[in-house]
Chain A
Amino acid sequence: MSGSLLSGDATNGAGLLLALALLFPLVLAVGLSFPAARARIGTLLAIAPLPALAVALLGNGARFVMPGPFRLTLALDASGAMLMGAAALLWTAAALYAPAYWQGGSMLRRAGLWWLFTLAGSLGVFVADDVVSFYLLFSLVSLAAYGLVVLEGNSSVRRAGAIYVGFAVLGEAFLLIAFVLLANASPGGSLAIADVVQGLPFSPWRDWTLLFLILGFGTKMAQVPLHLWMPLSYRATPIPAVAALSGAAVKAGVIGLARFLPFDSGSVPWGELLTVIGMISAFYGVLVGLTQTNPKAILAYSSISQMGVIAAVLGMGLAAGRASAPAEATFYAVHHLFAKGGLFLAIGVVAATGRWRIWPVFIPAAFVALGIAGLPLTGGALAKLAVKDALGYGLVGTLGKLSAIASTVLMIRFLTVLRGTARTDAGEALAPLTLRLVWWGVAALAVLAPWILLTPATGYPLSDAVSPSTLFDGIWPLAIGGLLAIGGRRLLPNPPRIPPGDILALLRPVGRLAGAASVAIERTEARLREWPIAGAIFLGLVLAFSIAMYLAGSS
C-alpha cells in the first residue's frame, strides 16, 4: 500500500531531485518565451520528462516537503515510480515522434506550452502525497490537456474540446467535494493521502466520499456513462499528443482510485458498484467501438473498455479488502500505457506508409493490439495474469475472460481498419525513420517492459507467465475472438455506425432545458430591473430579516 512510507518525514535528497524533476518541464515552459528556446522546441519536449525518468528509476523512497506556506508534498513509492517512469518514457517517445510527424511546422510550437504543462501534471500526479497537491496536479493534467485537444482548431475539434473541458471540470468538482469530505474526517487534520484514507472508514460521510471519489476518478477514466468526452477528444487530438494523453494522462484516474480507496479495510457495496461500472464499461466500450470507422475512435473505445477492466480489478480489490489490488491494477495500467500510446503512434506511421511496405510496421501493431487482449508471452498476457486473482474465479473472473474475447474482436477490427489507412497513392512510400523507430521502441516496451516489472510490482514469479495454464488462458479467448470477428464480418458486413460520443445525443434535451432556463433567468433579470419590483423586494427583505431575527431570537 502506498501509505506506509508517506507520513511525517522531511525532505530527503532524492525527494529534492523529484521536485526538481517535476519543476523541469515548467522551467522549460517559461523558457519558451525566448525565441532561441522556441527554435529547439523538439529537443526541449524530448528532454523534459528525462529527469523524472531518472528519479523514477533510482529514487525510490524519495520524499519532498515544500517549506513555508507552499503546500506541496511529494513521495515516490513503487506504484508511483512505475507509472511515472513509464509515463516519462511515453512522453519522451511522443516528443521524439512529434517533430517528424508534424514536419517541424507551427503545430509543435503551438503545442509546446500545453505539452509541458500537461506533462508536469501527468508525471506529478503519480507522486503527489497530500490531497491538495494531488488536486493541483490532477487539475493541471486535466485542464492543460485541453490545449492539446484543440490543437487542430477547426469547429468540430473545438466542440470536442468544449466537451472535454466540461467533463474535466465536472470530474474535478466531484473530486473537490470528495477531498473536502476526506479532509474533514482526517484524524488530526492531516492532509497526507495516507492519513485521510486511513480516516475514511470511520468518517461520518464515508459513503458520500466513496461515491464522489468514484465519480471523480471515473470521469477521468471515462467510465460509462461519464465516458462521452473520450472518443470525441481522442479523435480530435493530433497523434503525438493523443498518444501521450491516452497512455499517460488518463492514468491519473487509475492512480487516484488506487491511492484513495480504502483497500486495507475494504467496502463490499462500493467495491461491487465499482466492479459493475467497470464491467459495464469494459463491454460497452467494445460494443460501441466495433461500430467505429476512425482508428482513433476505436482505440478510444478500447481505452474505455480497458479502464473498465482496471476499475473492476480495483472494485473487486475494494470489496475483498485486498491490499495488493492497487499494485496489480497499476501494473495492468503500465502495460496499457505503453500499448495504447504505441498503437496511437502506429496509426500515424501506417498512414505515412505505402500499402506494399506496411508489414514491418503493421506486424508489431498486431502484436501490441492482440497483447491488449492477452496474447501469450506479450506484456498483455502478464497484465492479465497480474489481475487474474483480483478478479477472482467467480462471475467477475468469467466476465474478465469474456472481456478478453471482446477485446480480441475489437482489436481485430482496429487492425483491419488500420491496414486500410495505409497509403494507396504511393504504395512504396516509407514513413520517416524517426516515426518508425519511435513506434518500434514503444511497441517493444509494451511487449517487454511488463516482463521486467512483473515480479517487483506484483510478486508473481515470471515462471507463472510461461506456465501451460497461463498460455492456455491466453490462447482460447483469442481463438474465440478471432472466430467471432471472422463470423461477424460474414454475418454483418455493414455493421451499424454509431457516432463517436454515442449517448451524447441524449444530452440534447438537457441542453435545450438549460437554454430555456437561461432565457427564463434573463427575463427574471429584466423584471428585477424595474423600480417598483426592486423597491418591493427591498422593503420585503427588510420585513423578512426583521421577522427572521425575531423568530431566531424568541426561540
Chain B
Amino acid sequence: MTTPLALPFPADTTPGGFLLVLAILVPIIGILLIWTLGSRRTELVALTTLAIGAAIALAILTELTGTGSAVIYLVGGWRPPLGLALRADGLSVVLIVLTAIVIGAVGIFAKGQFGYDPDAPEKRAPTVFWTLLLGISGALNLIFLGDDLFNLFVAIELVTFTAVPLVCLDGKAETMRAALRYLLFALLGSVMYLLGVALIYSGYGTLDIALLKSVARVEPLLFIAIALMTVGLLAKTALFPLHIWLPAAHAGAPAAASAVLSALVVKGSFFIILRLWFDILPAEATGLGAQMLAGLGALAILFGSVIAICQARLKLLIAYSTVAQIGYLFLMFPLATGSEATPAFASIAWTGGILQLASHAFAKAAMFLAAGLVYDAFGHDRISGLAGAGRVIPITFIAFGLGGMSLMGLPPSGGFSAKWLMLNASVGEGQWWWAAVILCGGLLAAGYVFRVLVPAMARPLARIKVKGPVSRRRELVALALAIMALLIGFVPLEPAPLLGIGRGAEAGLLVPGGLAP
C-alpha cells in the first residue's frame, strides 16, 4: 500500500477571495472591539459588526453569481495540501447569507435585552452574549468556507465553545447542567471526528476536501474514517438517537440564543456531513449508508414530532420540533442521487434539502423568538396556561403560526416547496417510503403547531394574566423571520442553479489531474 500523492490544489486565489477572509475576520475584530471599548458601546459595536458581516455575505453572493464560479482564497498563498484553502461555492454562499440574516435578526431582537445595565447583578452577561453571538457568526462562516478537514474541526469546536455558554447564559443550575451535557456530548463527537481526520491524513496525505475528492478510494480506511467523522458530527447535529442533549439545551437558553442554536448551529455540523458524503466519499460506497442516514432521519421525524406533541412547555415543544425537522435534512442523502449526466447537487432533492434547511432556520428562529416574547408577556411558557394568549400578543402568535405553517409544509411557504421537491424526488427515485415519512411528519407537525395555536387563538375562560409589555420591535423581528420562511417558498420548484455554482466539473475539481495548465 502506498500513500497516494495528492494533487496540488487546482486553483489560485480569485479576485474576490479577500471577502472570504473578511467574513471570518470581521466578527473577530468586532469581539476585540467589544472587549476594548467597554460595555457601554457593546451593542453598537456588535450590531455594526453584524451589519458589516451581512454586507460581506451579500458581496460574496454577488461575486459568486457574477463570476459563476467558486470564490477561493489560499491562505498565505500556499496551495493545499501544504496550505489552507477557503472556498465559497453556491451552497456555502446560501448558508453564509442565511447565517447573516438570522444572526442579524436575532441581534436586532436582542438589542436592549442584553444591553448595558449598570444595576444588573451580572454585569458581564451583555458583553458575553454579544461576544458569543459574533463568535458564532464567525465560526459558522469558517465552517461554510473551510475546505480543509482539520480547519473544519477547529471551526466546529469554535461553534461548540460559543454555543455552550449561550445555553447557560442565565447561570441557573438547570441550564448549566444542560450545557455541560451538551458540551460533553459534543466533545465525544469532536474527538471521534479528529480520529477520523487522523485516519484520512494517514491514508491520503491531505485534508483538503477538493483534493480528497480526486484521491479517495473505496477502501476500509476511508469507511472507518468517514464513519467516525459522520457519527461524531451526527452527535453535534442532534440526529436521533443522538439528540438527547438538544431539547434541554435549546429550551433552557434565552430566546435569542435558542433561535441561533436551533436555526444555525446544528446546521453547521450538518453541512460538514454533507461535504463528507457528497464531496469525499466515492459515490459507489454511499448507497446503504445513505439509506441508514435517512432511516435515522425518518425516526427523528416521527419520534421528535410525537414527543413534541406531548410537551407541556412551549420551548421544549419547539426544541423537539427541531429534532424532528433535522430528520428531513437527512432524507437528502438517499434522494439526492447523482448520475453521469446530472450530479447530485443538480437534483431536486438537493435543492429541496437546502430549502428545508433554510426554511427551518427562518421558521424555527421566528418560533423561538416568539416563545421568548410569550415568556416576556406572561412570565411562563406552559402551553396549558396560554389560552387566549393570542389575543394579547397577536403579532407574536402570527409569527409563531406562520413559522408553524412552514414546518407543516403548507403553501405558500419554504417548508411546502421543500417538501414538494423532496416528495417529488422520493417518487421519482422510487423510494416511496420516504414520501410516507414526509407526509406523516407533516401531519404530526400540524398536531403540535395547532396544539399551541388553537388554545392561544380561542377565547379564554378566565382572563389571562399579563406580566409585562412586549416590545413591538421584537415582535416585528419574529414576524419578519417568519415571513422570510414564507417568501423563500417562492423559489422555482426545480434544481436551483445557484447551488451548482462552483461545484462539479466546471470547478475543475472533479477531474483527477484537473490542474489548470
Decide if A and B touch, CB cutoff 8 A. Answer: yes
Task: Provide the bound-state CA to CA distance between A162 and B281, in Å.
Answer: 47
Kindly specify which of B99-107, B168-176, B438-446 makes contact with the partner chain: B438-446
Of B408, B409, B439, B442, which is in contact with the most chain A CB atoms at under 10 Å from its CB? B439
B485 within 8 A of A: no
Q: Is the CB–CB distance between A181 and B427 below 8 Å?
A: yes
A173 closest partner in B (C-beta)? B439
Query: Contacts A173-B443, A542-B227: A553 and B218 contacting too (C-beta < 8 A)?
Result: yes
User: Using an 8 Å CB-CB cutoff, how does the interface string of A512-555 with B read, 1 for contact, 0 for none?
Assistant: 00000110011011001100001101100111111011111110
Q: How far is the CB of B450 from chain A (nearest CB, A)?
A: 6
Q: Is the CB–CB distance between A518 and B309 below 8 Å?
A: yes
A139 within 8 A of B: yes
Q: Is the CB–CB distance between A545 and B289 below 8 Å?
A: yes
User: Using an 8 Å CB-CB cutoff, how does the interface string of A61-75 with B read, 1 for contact, 0 for none?
Assistant: 000000001110000
Q: Is the CB–CB distance between A528 and B435 below 8 Å?
A: no
Q: Is the CB–CB distance between A546 and B224 below 8 Å?
A: yes
Q: Is the CB–CB distance between B435 and A180 below 8 Å?
A: yes
Task: Provide the bound-state CA to CA distance between A385 and B235, in Å.
Answer: 67
Select which of B220, B282, B423, B494 is within 8 A of A550 by beta carbon.
B220
Q: How far is the CB of B10 from chain A (nearest CB, A)?
A: 26
Q: Is the CB–CB distance between A538 and B490 below 8 Å?
A: no
A55 within 8 A of B: no
Query: Contacts A150-B458, A538-B242, A542-B228: A176 and B439 contacting too (C-beta < 8 A)?
Result: yes
Q: How far is the CB of B201 from chain A (nearest CB, A)?
A: 18
Q: Is the CB–CB distance between B227 and A545 below 8 Å?
A: yes
Select which of B185, B222, B307, B419 is within 8 A of A522 by beta carbon.
B307
Task: Provide the bound-state CA to CA distance between A205 and B424, in Å.
Answer: 12
A177 within 8 A of B: yes
Q: Is the CB–CB distance between B289 and A548 below 8 Å?
A: yes
Q: Is the CB–CB distance between B220 and A546 below 8 Å?
A: yes
B459 within 8 A of A: yes
Q: Is the CB–CB distance between B289 and A136 below 8 Å?
A: no
A38 cross-chain contacts in B, Cβ below 8 A: none
B428 cross-chain contacts in A, Cβ below 8 A: 184
A427 within 8 A of B: no
A89 cross-chain contacts in B, Cβ below 8 A: none
User: Using an 8 Å CB-CB cutoff, how does the interface string of B391-418 with A read, 1 for contact, 0 for none?
Assistant: 0000000000000000011111000000
Q: How far is the CB of A152 from chain B (nearest CB, A)?
A: 9
Q: Is the CB–CB distance between B220 and A177 below 8 Å?
A: no
Q: Is the CB–CB distance between A165 and B446 below 8 Å?
A: yes
Q: Is the CB–CB distance between A538 and B443 below 8 Å?
A: no
B286 within 8 A of A: yes
User: Using an 8 Å CB-CB cutoff, how does the interface string of A447-464 with B read, 1 for contact, 0 for none?
Assistant: 000000000000000000
Task: Provide the bound-state CA to CA distance between A177 and B409, in Å.
Answer: 12
A228 cross-chain contacts in B, Cβ below 8 A: none
Q: Is the CB–CB distance between B244 and A528 below 8 Å?
A: yes
Task: Provide the bound-state CA to CA distance between A153 and B454, in Å.
Answer: 10
Residues of A198-229 at the interface with B, using a CB-CB cut-off of 8 Å, are: 205
Q: How far is the CB of A141 from chain B (nearest CB, A)?
A: 12
Q: Is the CB–CB distance between B286 and A552 below 8 Å?
A: yes
B217 closest partner in A (C-beta)? A553
Select which of B227, B410, B427 is within 8 A of A180 by beta carbon.
B427
A358 within 8 A of B: no
Of B223, B234, B423, which is in contact with the most chain A CB atoms at under 10 Å from its CB? B223
Q: How far is the CB of A124 from chain B (nearest CB, A)?
A: 12
B226 within 8 A of A: yes
Count of chain B residues with Cβ under 8 Å from any Cβ of A?
Answer: 60
Q: Is the CB–CB distance between B424 and A528 below 8 Å?
A: no
B468 within 8 A of A: no
Task: Provide the bound-state CA to CA distance between A136 and B490, in Å.
Answer: 12
Select which of A135, A177, A205, A541 is within 8 A of B411 by beta carbon.
A135
Task: Provide the bound-state CA to CA distance between A169 and B450, in Å.
Answer: 11
Select which of B220, B231, B408 is within 8 A of A541 by beta carbon.
B231
A170 within 8 A of B: yes
Q: Is the CB–CB distance between B423 and A177 below 8 Å?
A: yes
Query: Contacts A69-B490, A69-B491, A528-B241: A522 and B420 contacting too (C-beta < 8 A)?
Result: no
Q: Is the CB–CB distance between A180 and B424 below 8 Å?
A: yes
Q: How far is the CB of A144 from chain B (nearest CB, A)?
A: 11
A524 closest partner in B (C-beta)? B303
A529 cross-chain contacts in B, Cβ below 8 A: 244
Task: Provide the bound-state CA to CA distance between A191 and B494, in Å.
Answer: 12
B389 within 8 A of A: no
B224 cross-chain contacts in A, Cβ below 8 A: 542, 546
Q: Is the CB–CB distance between A139 and B188 below 8 Å?
A: no
Q: Is the CB–CB distance between B458 and A158 below 8 Å?
A: yes
Q: Is the CB–CB distance between B410 and A143 below 8 Å?
A: yes
B230 within 8 A of A: yes
A183 within 8 A of B: yes
A132 within 8 A of B: yes
Select which of B218, B306, B435 is within 8 A of A521 by beta carbon.
B306
B310 within 8 A of A: yes
A161 within 8 A of B: yes
Task: Provide the bound-state CA to CA distance between A147 and B459, in Å.
Answer: 12
Task: Provide the bound-state CA to CA distance between A543 and B454, in Å.
Answer: 45
A212 closest partner in B (C-beta)? B439
A205 cross-chain contacts in B, Cβ below 8 A: 427
Task: Provide the bound-state CA to CA distance between A70 and B412, in Å.
Answer: 9
B285 within 8 A of A: yes
Select which of B285, B443, B493 is within 8 A of A552 by beta carbon.
B285
User: Using an 8 Å CB-CB cutoff, how does the interface string of B219-253 with A read, 1 for contact, 0 for none?
Assistant: 11011101110110011000001101000000000
User: Using an 8 Å CB-CB cutoff, how does the interface string of A166-180 with B read, 1 for contact, 0 for none?
Assistant: 000110110011001
Of B287, B288, B435, B443, which is in contact with the most chain A CB atoms at under 10 Å from its CB? B288
Q: Is the CB–CB distance between A521 and B303 below 8 Å?
A: yes
B420 closest partner in A (C-beta)? A180
B411 cross-chain contacts in A, Cβ below 8 A: 132, 135-136, 139
A176 cross-chain contacts in B, Cβ below 8 A: 409, 419-420, 423, 439, 442
Q: How far is the CB of A368 from chain B (nearest CB, A)?
A: 34
Q: Is the CB–CB distance between B242 and A552 below 8 Å?
A: no
B388 closest partner in A (C-beta)? A153
Q: Is the CB–CB distance between A553 and B439 below 8 Å?
A: no
Task: Provide the bound-state CA to CA distance between A534 and B439, in Å.
Answer: 29
Q: How far is the CB of A183 from chain B (nearest CB, A)?
A: 6
B192 within 8 A of A: yes
B158 within 8 A of A: no
B284 within 8 A of A: yes
A150 cross-chain contacts in B, Cβ below 8 A: 454, 458
Task: Provide the bound-state CA to CA distance between A517 and B305, in Å.
Answer: 13
Task: Provide the bound-state CA to CA distance between A366 and B419, in Å.
Answer: 49
B108 within 8 A of A: no
B409 cross-chain contacts in A, Cβ below 8 A: 176
B292 within 8 A of A: yes
Task: Provide the bound-state CA to CA distance between A551 and B493, in Å.
Answer: 35
B38 within 8 A of A: no
Q: How far is the CB of B344 from chain A (nearest CB, A)?
A: 15
Q: Is the CB–CB distance between A132 and B289 below 8 Å?
A: no
B412 closest partner in A (C-beta)? A136
Q: Is the CB–CB distance between B442 and A173 below 8 Å?
A: yes
B219 cross-chain contacts in A, Cβ below 8 A: 553
B121 within 8 A of A: no
Other 15 A-B pairs with CB < 8 A, given A173-B439, A549-B289: A69-B490, A143-B410, A176-B409, A176-B439, A176-B442, A180-B427, A189-B494, A522-B307, A522-B310, A524-B303, A537-B242, A538-B231, A541-B227, A549-B288, A552-B287
* Chain A to chain B contacts (Cβ below 8 Å), 28 pairs: A71-B493, A132-B420, A135-B411, A136-B411, A139-B410, A158-B458, A162-B450, A173-B439, A173-B442, A180-B420, A184-B427, A189-B494, A521-B307, A538-B188, A538-B192, A538-B231, A538-B235, A538-B242, A541-B234, A545-B226, A546-B227, A548-B292, A549-B288, A549-B289, A550-B220, A550-B223, A552-B288, A553-B219
- Chain A residues within 8 Å of B, Cβ to Cβ: 69-71, 132, 135-136, 139, 143, 147, 150, 153, 158, 161-162, 165, 169-170, 172-173, 176-177, 180-181, 183-184, 189, 191, 205, 517-518, 521-522, 524-525, 528-529, 534-535, 537-538, 541-546, 548-554
Ranked nearest first, the 3 interchain pairs of A and B with the lowest CB-CB distance are: A553-B285, A545-B227, A549-B223
